[in-house]
Amino acid sequence: MSSIKHLEADLTSLSNECKRRNSNIRSECDVAVSILKNYSPDASVEALNDDQRRLLAAPLVSTLASNNTKLVTISISAINRLAGTTAFSTATLGPLLDGLLEASHLAMDIQLRILQCLPPLMQNYIVEIRGKLLLRLLQIGSGLTVANKPAVVINTAAATLQQLFGYIYERNEKYGLEAVPEKTDKQPHEAKIDNKITFLDDLSYEGYLIFKDLCNILNESPASFLEGIPLKPLASLEFIHTVINNQRDLFRSRPDLIFLFKDHLVPSLLHILNSPTKSFPYFVRCLRVIQCLLMYYVDKLEIESEVLLSFLNHLLLNEENIPQEWATKSFSWDKILVLETLLGLFNNFSAILTIYEKFDNSKTKKNVLLEMLNTLQVFISHNSYLVTEALEPITANHSPSDYISKKSSSYESPCWITSTKPNHPLLYFKPTPYYLIFS
């Protein structure tokens, strides 16, 4: 936690660096320092009242608009200290975020320091930062992911945005109210679920609009709430996977969000998988989302789960030609990814049990698990060439040898660990599909 002495040192340094043309900042620094001198050096800055907090933040916010790299660096250092506290008054948050946005075009070091501020600001003002303030926060992060920024800034900004979207739904889980069928003072916002209307509170409705926009971005459709936030479909897939995996209890309990799964998310995923020109980064992230849906949401998405599993079977048995530059030594990477997805699913016993109970154990529904196993059997029989036909007799003094194994398949890591590669995945040897199936 930031102490009075640390902040006083930052403000004194800032005052000393101010030239004659920055006299207003120097005056604001002097006022802030005089306030801090009334407190013990080891006291927390949270001991200040609202008026004092406003005066304390004034020189820091003013400096962000100065375009002076040296002054902004000192100011950002102090803001970083305060971001982990509740020392900013609510009225200061708007000007502060405006200033951070304005300073985000300066040097790379400043850009990285600004990104460092955003998660603790969101955490400590998780209820206050909503609406326009939330959009401004996301605008700062997304603006630093554009192609003309240094790679380290782009990667840091992408990771920061992932955190911020996670916090949005953590907030919904903690503070959101249950949807109601009639409009109330606390739940005034209308959301459609199938042919019914439900009403949401401010935070829940904001989460609903954001998730809807993330799904729209997958189809490159215009966003509504997130209009003006430059997000790409690939980033949207990452954010969707993060929130539906980490906030499962929230999504499972919200009929309005489950409706968005059915009406927006699943159709978009199928569209990506069915694209004639397969992109490895999109394909692998799409399968991550599908695996999450099949592991944790089957009971909420029965029809959609059946369609997704059938489509995975189709991808395994599809014999279409794969471009040579995307092929493995003997096998196409898309099928390897599907097998990895199924392996992860079968390793989750509760998910397989749910699928069995919802489908195979019902006399009126399709035997989904049986069809999946039959597909793997057909896959093996149709691709027997993947295993060498050469006979290797075992002699009395033979050395231990792995025939179908991780070692002989040169399978050192799952495909989706390589998904940040810009072009295509690594090459794999012939027995890799067999290793995945028999695992």
Residues 82 and 101: their CA atoms lie apart, in Å, by: 17
In terms of phi and psi (left: phi > 0; alpha: psi -120 to 50; beta: otherwise), the region of 407 is: alpha
Q: Average pLDDT per run of 10 along the chain, which is 439 residues long? A: 78 84 87 88 82 89 91 92 87 94 93 95 92 95 91 94 95 88 88 88 94 93 90 94 95 94 95 86 92 95 94 80 41 81 90 92 88 85 57 54 51 49 49 60
What pLDDT score was predicted for residue 194?
A: 82
Q: Of all helices (H) and strands (E), which one includes residue 206?
A: helix 202-218
In the block, which residue shows the tokens 């789960």?
A: 305
Contact present, 435 and 406 (Cβ < 8 Å): yes
Please say whether the beta carbons of 272 and 289 come within 8 A: no
pLDDT of residue 381: 75
Ranges of H-type helices in 219-301: 233-246, 248-253, 255-260, 266-273, 280-296
Tell me which amino acid residue 197 is. I
Return the structure tokens found at 248.
């499962």
Between CA 48 and CA 89 the distance in angstroms is 10
What local confidence, expressed as pLDDT, does residue 158 receive?
94
Alpha carbon distance 153, 387 (integer Å) = 45
Which run of H or of E encompasses 189?
strand 189-193
Nearest of 287, 380, 271, 284 to residue 326 by alpha carbon: 284
* Residue 431, phi then psi, degrees to nearest 5: -75, 0
d(CA 235, CA 252): 23
For residue 227, count other CB atoms closer than 10 A to its CB: 9
CA distance 326 to 224: 37
What's the length of the chain? 439
Per-residue pLDDT, 172: 92
3-state secondary structure 151-184: HHHHHHHHHHHHHHHHHHHHHHHHHCCCCECCCC
Number of Cβ within a 10 Å radius of residue 46: 12
Tell me what pLDDT residue 209 has.
96
Taking CA atoms, 365 is separated from 70, 258, 311, 346, 378, in Å, by 68, 22, 17, 20, 22
Residue-level pLDDT at 45: 81
pTM of structure: 0.85
Return the H-helix or E-strand segment holding 8: helix 4-17
- Measured between alpha carbons, how far is 222 from 226 in angstroms, rounded to an integer? 9
pLDDT for 331:
56
| Predicted pLDDT of residue 328 | 40
